[in-house]
Amino acid sequence: MTYALLALSYVIGATPSSYWVSRLVRGIDLREHGSGNLGATNVFRIVGPGWAAPVMLVDVGKGFVPVWFFPGLIDASFGWTLAFGGAAIVGHIFSFWVGFKGGKGVATSAGVLLALAPWAVLGCFAVWCALTFPTGYVALGSVGAAMSLPIFVALTPHQVGQGLMWFSLALAVFVTWAHRSNLKRLLAGTESRFRLRGDTKIDDPGEVT
C-alpha cells in the first residue's frame, strides 16, 4: 500500500495541467512556444492570464494532496510523508505524459511545503515577490525563494525532527538546478522579463517558473 501511494504521488505530480490547457484552449504544444516550460508563467504569457491561475492551483494541489492525505491512509512515518511530497515534485518536473520534460517544480514544491510548513511558504513567497516584481525576473524570484526555504524551515521549530530541514535543503538545490538555463540567461543578460499583463503571442520568448 505504501509503495502504491508513492507511485500514485508521482502520477499525480506528473499530471501536465499546463500542457493539456494549452492543447485544449489554443491547440498548441506549450513546449514549443514561449519559454518551452510547462508552468503557469508560460501559460500566462502564451495561453492567457485567465488560464494561469487554475493551472497554478492544480500544480500546487499536486504537491499538497499526497502530503496532506496519503499519510493518514497508512499511518505513515514523517519520512514517508516527505517521500510522497518528493515523488510529486519529481513527477511534475519529469512527467511521463510529456516525455519527462515538465515544469520547474516551484508550484508543486510550494504545495508540499504548504501542507508541512505553511509559515515557511509565506516567507518564501515574500522573498519571491521582493525579487520578482522589482526586477521582472520570475526565475530570479523562484531561485531566491528556493534558497531561502531552509532558513524559513529552520525558523519553524514545531516540525518533526531534522527530516524537513534536509528535505528543504535538497529541494533548494533541486529547484535551483531546474532553473540552470535561466540563471545562464540572467548572467548573459538575455533572460526575458515578466509583464503583469499577459501577452498571448505564441512567439513571445517568455520566461520560466
Tell the residue number behind the cell numbers 493551472, with chain if given: 55
Residues of the chain with pLDDT under 70: 157-161, 195-209
For residue 208, give the DSSP letter. -
d(CA 112, CA 81): 10
Tell me what pLDDT residue 157 has.
67
pLDDT the model gives residue 167: 92
Query: What is the spatial distance between Cα 157 and Cα 148, in angstroms, rounded to a whole number?
Result: 16
pLDDT of 64 reads: 97
CB atoms within 10 A of CB 164: 23
Tell me: the pLDDT tens digits for 168-196?
999 999 889 988 888 998 899 888 787 65
Q: Which three cell numbers stand for residue 202?
A: 505564441
Distance in angstroms (rounded) separating the CA atoms of residues 180 and 201? 25
Amino acid code (one letter) for 84: F
